[in-house]
Structure 1
Amino acid sequence: MDDQIRKFERFRALHLSGVFVAPNPWDAGSARLLASLGFPTLATTSAGYAFSRGKLDSRAALDRDEILRNAAQIVAATDLPVTADLENGFGDAPRICADTLRMACAVGLVGGSVEDATGDPDAPIYETSLAVERIRAAAEAASDLPFLLTARAENYLWGRPDLTDTIRRLQAFSEAGAHVLYAPGLPDLQAIRTVCAEVDKPVNVVAGLVPPHHTVAQLAKAGVRRISTGGSLARAALGALMRAAEEIALHGSFDYAQHALPTPVIEGMMAPKPPDAPMQNKDRPDDPGSSQS
């Protein structure tokens, strides 16, 4: 628990020191790859995990046990703080959200998000009072744990582009005890700027979900404190796989291999470093966005 508390303190401090990026690995291997590039923290992705298992990213396809099992593997893969996508808490009742949060903390996570989406296409968003009670129950469970609770308002992902209601929900979630606020799918920088100005807690924004794709500098100027990538890195990896496979199937060529990471580079990333080991120059490219062949 001492190590988890140290990770929690690191994670909490990041939200007080300006903007940072929390990329989303979908398994232990992708977690180690991302950690090798010097990111300060990681976040899990239910979408990325679902795709890796040949499943849909849905409440019906994913259960709490497998999501937490995957999160535990990511936690064990690096010494970074990890926050998790906890879906809607895996149940409608507030007590289930509280139970999920305690279970998440028990596998070593230092944060997690709970959304107000129901999983029911006919009524996709919880009524506000129930949504708030669910966050309040999760916040009370977190009150004596090394755990940062993120509350998600899902209007824009479910065909309800109502900024006023989204802000009202986020404000209510903050009052209920959430530590971080998150409204995925906001349409533009002005909406993001407005949300950040109208709430009193750090705001997370997901990058790579819908265009336009803003830069870290633009989001920082808008007031964002945390940037996640959701399932976009997993989709980028699948895109590279599909392009390589199509090249083979359609052209009978293997030129894709010149862009693949060399095995020694991957093996270097997969071998965990001792705690507090300094990162060598060869471990971190000067430009994290550059390709390696």
Structure 2
Amino acid sequence: MTDPLANSGLVVVDKPQGMSSHDVVARLRRFFGTRRVGHAGTLDPMATGVLVAGIERGTKFLAHMVADTKAYEATVFLGAATSTDDAEGERGELADATAIQAITEAEIEAEIARLRGPIMQRPAAVSAIKINGKRAYQRVREGEAVEIPPRPVTIERFDVLAQRRCSDHIELDVVVECSSGTYIRSLARDLGEALGVGGHLTALRRTAVGAFELQDALTLEELEQHPALSVSLDQALIRCYPVLEVSEQEAADLAMGKWLAPRGLRGVHAAVAPDGRAVALIKEQGKRLATVFVARPSTL
């Protein structure tokens, strides 16, 4: 019997610079011959690296990856701010060279330390966040002054890997591990503001999205030649969540959206049938073990 989910799953793309996430989705639709393609977490055109896309029913799973942590390698320019907090925006005046030269490594580390952990971050005005139904960047393009309220994010790691000093600016190569929803260019902006010289992002590469890393990623050229899933939908659920093995009858019940008796589980688990297929994501809610997402509904 043919598996109805044989063509459903995730594709991990190494996004090239200069393309939007929407551009990548358009390419994948052509490569895989389907309109049912989506992505988990936008990457700016300037950025490269891990972009996780869902194919067919894999698109339904993407919403359950939103809370995952992400990792980046980036270059921060200290010495000038830009209108977009990255290199694509209009750059303001360079800071005074004396001010740049006066900044010590200890001061940089102290200000970075203040940006680690749970913080309230103000997203860049030119972002995809919706304000009253319209993207912030669209409002900026139309001449509106946009101020997005700060939102909670968590910065697990923010470390300097290398530092280059010039007479009028400092460049920092950094690594960041953070919660979903974090803007790395906002970290660059805030670091520059804290040091009194302005700052923006000049390079960004996403190295991981949750359980998926660069080693899993394929280029668009590779996918055009050999369009194939990186992981099936079954593999995606098992890779992203702890597994709970269930009986054939329990799997059938979950496929119909029924709930099971509680088992003392904490958090979301992937319910896996005896044949190895992941039926659903489940979570204890009160006195029942209920489905959060049904990967293999009985209606397929």
Please confirm whether the aligned pair reaches a TM-score higher than 0.5, indicating the same fold. no
Higher relative contact order (CA closer than 8 Å, sequence separation 6+) = 2
In terms of fraction of residues, the more strand-rich structure is 2
Band the TM-score falls in, shorter-chain normalisation? under 0.3
TM-score normalised by structure 2 residue count: 0.24
Pick the structure with greater CA Rg.
Answer: 2
- What is the TM-score when the length of structure 1 is the normalising length? 0.25
